[in-house]
Structure formats: structure tokens, C-alpha cells
Amino acid sequence: ERVGAAARQLNSLIDSLIHGKADYPDHAGREIEAKLRHDLRTPLNAIIGYSEMILEEAEELHEHALDEDVRVMLAAAAELLVHVDAIAGLSRASDNEGLWTTDQAEIDAAGLERALGKTERDAFSGRNGRILVVDDIGSNRDLLSRRLLHDGHQVVTAESGLSALTRLAEYEFDLVLLDILMPDMNGIEVLSRLKAERRWRHIPVIMISGLNEVDAVVRCIEAGADDYLLKPFNPVLLRARINSSLEK
């Protein structure tokens, strides 16, 4: 159901772009490209995330009837991600040469890591903690929450930067997973506020974003972020980064 909803959202957005109904200015720029990429990737992230969870749950239950269909869907979504970068004008070799691997390479590597995932989970048991998930997209919050709860963490969510600051005042957290692009207060602004407060500055923060740009990473690290992960995140890498942050 959630995969279907994400597919309909993606289809609607593409239809709007084709027919000139999308709400984007005519002039191109890095901010417009980032928003376009963010909007196109959001439903793709949901499709990939929920599909991977279906495969993981099927493996745990030894039910493999849907494996082939789900893997075909994952492959199609991975191919679309490559085209999204090309459409949005973000696959610029002059900006990224030598600094980033392509999304397709990350996804190919993710296949190997998924195969090793169960072994790694059995071999490494990280410390559980209370984690704040901050993202304005409901499907992103849901996907992260499901994975974290499955790994034994306590999860609190916030749908905006202002809501995140409210949650921080209400609870004690061991880690914050923070999206960058949000409408009211972006993730870097939230991060700056968090690190400016003595009671919060010790909390590790992992930024999670679809912005595959060096500038975004630099700004986050300079503002005090402990780590930076790209959407759609690889489950094994996400788990390793979370465990590493909690162990600090």
C-alpha cells in the first residue's frame, strides 16, 4: 500500500513536470535543482525503503514468493535515481569528479552489503538509545522509525525544525537524525541551534539528505554534525553509523 502510494506520487509529479504544471521557476539554479531532486527522490526513497523492508521481513519469515518481483522493482527504482540526477542537472563531473561515487555505484555496493547484512547484525550488537528523527516527509519518518524500532531503539519523531526543538526540550536523546531540506527551518539551522545550547550540544547528530553535494556536507560538518548520509540510505551503513555515534 505504501509502495503504491509512493509510486502514484512519483507518477503525478512526473506528469506535472511533463505538462508544465509543476511549481518551479523558469530560471535554473542550484537551489531549484536541489528542490527538484528532493521532490523526485522523495517517492523513490519510499519505494526503495519499503521494498527493502519487505525483502528483509520475507527472509526472516522464510517467505520468498515475492522476492523476484520486489527485486525487479528495486532495480527499476535504482535506474530512475540515476535519471533523476541527470534530469535535475546534478550529475556534473566538473563539480564532483574524484569526490563522489555515482548513485548507481552506491546501489551496486548496497547489494553486496545487504547480502552481508544479517551476518553483520548477528556479529555486532550496538548500544540501543533514544533517537529523534526529524523529517518533514511522513514516509521518511516512518521508514526510519521502523528500522530503528526493529533494531531495538526508542524513537521520537518531529515533522519540522520547530517541532524538533520542542521535542529536544521535552526529552533526553542519545542521537538525532536530521533532514536538511525542510520548509520552516532547515536542518542546518536546527543543527546550529542545537549546538548553541549547552544542554544539547553533546548530542551526536547525523544529517540525512538527498543532496549529493560537497558544499552541503561541508556546511553540515562546520555547523557541528557528526556524520552525513545520503538518501536513499543503505540499511547496513545506516545501522553502522548509528551504532558508531551511540558508542562515542
Q: What is the pTM of this model?
A: 0.64
> Which positions ≥6 away from 197 have C-beta within 8 Å?
none
CA–CA separation, 88 vs 8, rounded Å? 20
| Residue 127 per-residue DSSP state | P
Quick one: pLDDT band at residue 3, thresholds 50, 70, 90?
low
- For 104-136, the pLDDT digits (tens) are 444 444 443 444 444 344 434 567 999 999 999
CB of 3 closer than 8 Å to CB of 47: yes
- The tens digit of pLDDT for each residue in 63-100 reads 777 677 777 777 777 777 776 766 555 444 444 444 34
For residue 18, the model assigns a pLDDT of 54
What pLDDT was estimated at residue 181?
Answer: 86
Kindly indicate the confidence band of residue 39, based on its pLDDT and cuts at 50, 70 and 90.
Answer: confident
List CB contacts of 22: < 8 A, sequence separation 6 or more.
Answer: 13, 16
Domains and CATH numbers, the chain: 2-120 (no CATH), 127-247 (3.40.50.2300)
The pLDDT-based confidence of 158 (bands split at 50, 70, 90) is very high
Considering Cα of 205, then 53, then 125, then 241, what sign does the dihedral take?
Answer: negative
